[in-house]
Amino acid sequence: MNEKKVLVLIPARFNSTRFPGKPLAPLMGKSMIQRVYDNCQEANFNSRPSFQEGQISAPFNLNFDTYVVTDSTEIENHLLEVNCKVCRVDDEVSTGSERVFLAFKRYFSNKGYDLVVNMQGDEPLLKGAELRKLCLFHLENGGIWQLWYEKGIYLIRIFPVKTS
């Protein structure tokens, strides 16, 4: 059976103008960014994803790698203390998506990933099983999408990576 490699990059910055330190804000015993990271890691718990209790099985195994991309020493230190993988991009950028792009380009572009997900660092409610289903759908169907929460609805952005 084929394996598909999925890279999940979560941008997190400390110096937000609206809510400084938001990634480290406590949320039921963990920081928000740790909750997002842990939820993404849960996508690995089922290597053969399926929809609706096994009615549709994946034709391949999914293998997820998750990293938080930050420019903050506070966030980096916190995540290392709780055994999360962190990638530093200290460039001055205007969006988290730009930071994710730079991280991918510098550290991951030659690693053979089939899909790259830009998971927002303030999405602690999206669970690994849902992420797995979304990735399976996009690996089977292609497309470019973004994930964000607006007016009670999750909107999705997922980037297939073509290496040829």
What are the distances in angstroms from CA 83 to CA 8, 17, 38, 77, 78? 16, 28, 10, 10, 9
What pLDDT shows up at residue 163? 47
SS3 readout for 96-109: HHHHHHHHHHHHHC
| CATH ID of 2-160, from 3.30.1360.170, 3.40.50.1390, 3.90.550.10, 3.30.450.20 | 3.90.550.10
What are the distances in angstroms from CA 157 to CA 113, 119, 146, 147? 16, 8, 2, 5
Mean per-residue pLDDT, 11-21: 88
Structure tokens at 7: 């890279």
Domain residue limits, the chain: 2-160
- Using the predicted structure, report yes or no on whether residue 43 has a pLDDT greater than 60: yes
Average per-residue pLDDT in the chain?
Answer: 82
Which comes out higher in pLDDT, residue 87 or 94?
87
- Using the predicted structure, report yes or no on whether residue 51 has a pLDDT greater than 70: no
